[in-house]
Amino acid sequence: MRVPSKKGFIWLLIYSLIGLVVVMLVASLLHLKAVKDEPDFLIGISQPNLNEPRQLLMNNEIRKEAEKHKNVKLIFTDAAENSEKQVHDVQKLMKYGIDLLIISLNDSEKLTPIVTEVYKEIPVIVLGRGVTGYDYSLFIGSDNLSIGKKSGKLAADLLGGAPADIVEIKGAVSSRSVEETSRGFRDYLSNSPSIKADKVIVGDWQRDRAEDELSRILPSSPGVKLVFAHSDAMALGAYRAIDALGLHDVQIIGIDGLDTLNGGFDLVKQGVLSGTVTSPTGGRESIQYALDILNREKVIPKKIILGSHLITQKNAREVEAASDPGQMTSRMDVNTRKTKLGVAVVGSESSWRAANTESIKNAAGQDLNIDLIMQNAEGSQDKQIEIIRNFIKQKVDVIAFTPIVETGWDNVLAEAKAAGIPVILTDRKVKVEDDSLWTTFIGSDFVEEGRRAARWVVEHKPVAGETKIVELQGTAGSAPAIERRQGFDEVLSQNAGFRVIASEIGDFTTESGQQLMSKVLQQGTVPQVVFAHNDDMALGAIKAIEQAGLKPGKDVVVISVDATKLAFQAMLAGKLNMSVECNPLLGPQIIKAAKELATGKEIPVNIITAESIFSQETAKRDVSTRKY
């Protein structure tokens, strides 16, 4: 082979260098294009004020989470406790062209209209204090009723049954979250007749106002032995008032439990507070879900309710150690071995159940880190308890189950807790003495489903006179049956001209719907409306109506809940008039939660799915896209 001349070698080198420069240029242009293609998101954060430690920490958590994403830009506003100003802040943010709004409301009622307006144009995440209605993308907050109950338990434990007066320092005069907290507190204390909580003052979430108000009433209230403040900032104000008055036998408890200087966690460790109940700000989660929404990823829940825990002088140190990343010994490294998930399926009563079970199987099957053990209780609570006990024996990492009814689970869930196995409630809740027996609930807001059914009936009143309604209830004692009935009755009671003439108990099966409806019709009563707690019972009722020679959907309006394919087919046939959506496709969220729990990560206590309603008109449009 000829060796190239010196001149030829130089030309070869020049061509190679040119080629290298061209390749590098193309690569950097592609990279720039890729980065350019990754959309920049501008997120507006509207705060009610920035003098509450909670709001400051919320902003810090938002910043810290957002910093992980180069394409996220933030704009913060501070309404200085003024609702009108917060409305203007939001309007200003919209003028800046934000892609998503995160808002913590100064006043739910006053801010709901602007949130509804903005939600028509861009996604909205409401943080903390809720809006009225459902005009938002996602609500992230705490369960105020549960926090109130935990505070009541803390107060009763600290007072040890001795007769005592309590002063309650509320955050605001009229706010739904404040009233829920206070109701939970008083519900719990109703078991302690020696404790009186008649004295209530309002601190407007501010330390100084709480201090001033308490200083005003304490000198004339010698029986006060404990102060319960709805925030740790106000609890610190209470401490300053008590200290200035030289009182030494008054204990103070708060809410928030923020691990910041003079935050509740710190004040408990210092001995200033006797205890507090944590109420996470949701700042970190708001950015995580904001990006899911903006990137149009997976199913976005409608509500995320974050867990709350008691912090006392007894457990503060161990809680601190457990939350220290250096100390955190995750229960397992999810990447080294599979998460063993035990699922106790409630039964096979409906097409909804079949879709729900399939969703869990599919989600587990698509995840290499999940080892699924699924067993079917076929509608028996005893069988379900037996299956759960077997999972405990098999030392699964996580248990997930749909409690067929709300009660009767205390013992078996206590056994799971004693075995250190977290429990996920899927689509139905339980009623137990100790809510720490289960870790999270993933499912729907059944009360709202019942309200939606009733609102539709009110809006489509079939006759001018009194509208007679027959209700076909789901399984007796089950959360969906109890809560759908509750929501339905709540809305009907606000509207004249409607009467439930019969409310029969079924079991979510087609057979029970048909039997119950036949029984009502054989008694000679023809209602104008039938409200069935699920599609399967509605389809049974439709059969009974036809057997009686009547036209379902015309002579008798039929509505239900679930919005399964069968319901869509019945609506297209004109036999079913409307179905309220209840999404069974919970598999992905259940698997995600199980894996996070297996690593010891804290996850929201409630994850509520987003839902709507489907009528005969929208059924035609949406039937082809239905996934269940």
Question: How far apart are CB 530 and ligand GYE at their closest, in Å?
Answer: 16
Could you tell me how far CA 2 lies from the centroid of its own chain? 77
Question: How far apart are CB 508 and ligand GYE at their closest, in Å?
Answer: 4
Q: Decide if residue 470 touches ligand GYE (CB under 6 A).
A: no
Please count the helices (runs of H) and the strands (runs of E) in the chain.
21, 24
Contact 397, 341 (CB under 8 A): yes
* Residue with smaller CB distance to ligand GYE, 62 or 580: 580
Binding to ligand GYE (CB under 6 A) within 479-498 occurs at 480
Q: How many CA atoms lie within 13 A of 551 on its CB side?
A: 5
Q: Which of 65, 211, 397, 427 binds ligand GYE (CB under 6 A)?
A: 427
Beta bridge partners of 256: 278
DSSP 8-state class, residue 577: -
Q: Which of 61, 211, 266, 349 binds ligand GYE (CB under 6 A)?
A: 349
Query: What one-character-per-residue DSSP string does 148-203 give?
Result: HHHHHHHHHHHHTT--EEEEEEES-SS-HHHHHHHHHHHHHHTT-TTEEEEEEEE-
3-state secondary structure of 538: helix
Q: Decide if residue 508 touches ligand GYE (CB under 6 A).
A: yes
Question: How far apart are CB 201 and ligand GYE at their closest, in Å?
Answer: 43
* Residue with smaller CB distance to ligand GYE, 506 or 552: 506
Contact 302, 612 (CB under 8 A): no
Question: How far apart are CB 427 and ligand GYE at their closest, in Å?
Answer: 4
Q: Decide if residue 353 touches ligand GYE (CB under 6 A).
A: yes
Question: How far apart are CB 111 and ligand GYE at their closest, in Å?
Answer: 32
What track of x and - describes contact with ligand GYE for positions 216 through 245 (by CB under 6 A)? ------------------------------
Query: What one-character-per-residue DSSP string does 217-271 give?
Result: HGGG-TTEEEEEESSHHHHHHHHHHHHHTT--S-EEEEEE---STTSHHHHHHHT
Question: How far apart are CB 443 and ligand GYE at their closest, in Å?
Answer: 7
Binding to ligand GYE (CB under 6 A) within 577-616 occurs at 582
Task: Give the binding range for ligand GYE (CB under 6 A) out of 37-45, 199-207, 346-354, 517-525.
Answer: 346-354
Rounded to the nearest 10 degrees, what angle do helices 510-522 and 535-547 cross at? 40
Question: How far apart are CB 478 and ligand GYE at their closest, in Å?
Answer: 7
DSSP 8-state class, residue 592: H
Question: How far apart are CB 507 and ligand GYE at their closest, in Å?
Answer: 8
State residue 162 phi and psi, 5-degree precision: -70, 145
Question: How far apart are CB 314 and ligand GYE at their closest, in Å?
Answer: 39
Binding to ligand GYE (CB under 6 A) within 77-96 occurs at none
Judging by beta carbons within 10 Å of its beta carbon (0-12, 13-18, 19+), is residue 86 exposed, middle or buried?
Answer: buried
Task: Give the binding range for ligand GYE (CB under 6 A) out of 13-21, 157-165, 350-358, 540-548.
Answer: 350-358
* Residue with smaller CB distance to ligand GYE, 128 or 301: 301
* Residue with smaller CB distance to ligand GYE, 430 or 598: 430
In whole angstroms, how far apart are CA 485 and each of 215, 318, 576? 47, 43, 19
What track of x and - describes contact with ligand GYE for positions 372 through 411 (by CB under 6 A)? ----------------------------------------
Binding to ligand GYE (CB under 6 A) within 12-41 occurs at none
* Residue with smaller CB distance to ligand GYE, 227 or 346: 346
What track of x and - describes contact with ligand GYE for positions 544 through 583 (by CB under 6 A)? -----------------xx-------------------x-
Question: How far apart are CB 475 and ligand GYE at their closest, in Å?
Answer: 8
3-state secondary structure of 442: strand
Question: How far apart are CB 574 and ligand GYE at their closest, in Å?
Answer: 22
Q: Decide if residue 143 touches ligand GYE (CB under 6 A).
A: no
Question: How far apart are CB 349 and ligand GYE at their closest, in Å?
Answer: 5
Q: With contacts defined by CB under 6 A, how many residues of the chain interact with ligand GYE?
A: 12
Question: How far apart are CB 533 and ligand GYE at their closest, in Å?
Answer: 7
* Residue with smaller CB distance to ligand GYE, 172 or 610: 610
C-alpha–C-alpha distance, residues 617 and 614, integer Å: 8
Question: How far apart are CB 399 and ligand GYE at their closest, in Å?
Answer: 17
Q: Which of 188, 352, 401, 409 binds ligand GYE (CB under 6 A)?
A: 352
CB atoms under 10 Å from CB of 584, counted, come to: 26
C-alpha–C-alpha distance, residues 65 and 127, integer Å: 15
Which token pair is 204? 């407007």
**End-to-end alpha carbon distance in the chain:** 71
Q: Which of 177, 350, 514, 616 binds ligand GYE (CB under 6 A)?
A: 350
* Residue with smaller CB distance to ligand GYE, 319 or 541: 541
* Residue with smaller CB distance to ligand GYE, 171 or 480: 480
Give kind and range of the element (H or E) at residue 408.
Answer: none
In whole angstroms, how far apart are CA 223 and each of 44, 191, 193, 213, 472? 48, 20, 15, 17, 53
Question: How far apart are CB 504 and ligand GYE at their closest, in Å?
Answer: 16
- Residue in the shown chain whose Cβ atom is closest to ligand GYE: 352
Which token pair is 53? 């430690």
Contact 59, 76 (CB under 8 A): yes
State residue 303 phi and psi, 5-degree precision: -140, 140
Task: Give the binding range for ligand GYE (CB under 6 A) out of 292-300, 345-353, 433-441, 456-464.
Answer: 345-353
Question: Of 267, 197, 259, 260, nearest to 234 (Cα)?
Answer: 267
Question: How far apart are CB 481 and ligand GYE at their closest, in Å?
Answer: 9
Q: Decide if residue 428 touches ligand GYE (CB under 6 A).
A: yes
* Residue with smaller CB distance to ligand GYE, 474 or 553: 474
Question: Of 352, 337, 477, 351, nearest to 427 (Cα)?
Answer: 352
* Residue with smaller CB distance to ligand GYE, 156 or 537: 537
What track of x and - describes contact with ligand GYE for positions 513 through 542 (by CB under 6 A)? ---------------------x--------
**For every residue of 33-77, which 3-state class applies, written as one string?**
HHHHHCCCEEEEEEECCCCCHHHHHHHHHHHHHHCCCCCEEEEEE
C-alpha–C-alpha distance, residues 399 and 393, integer Å: 12
C-alpha–C-alpha distance, residues 373 and 369, integer Å: 13
Q: Strands, E, within 349-418: which ranges?
A: 370-376, 398-401
* Residue with smaller CB distance to ligand GYE, 391 or 508: 508
The footprint of ligand GYE (CB under 6 A) covers 349-350, 352-353, 427-428, 480, 508, 534, 561-562, 582
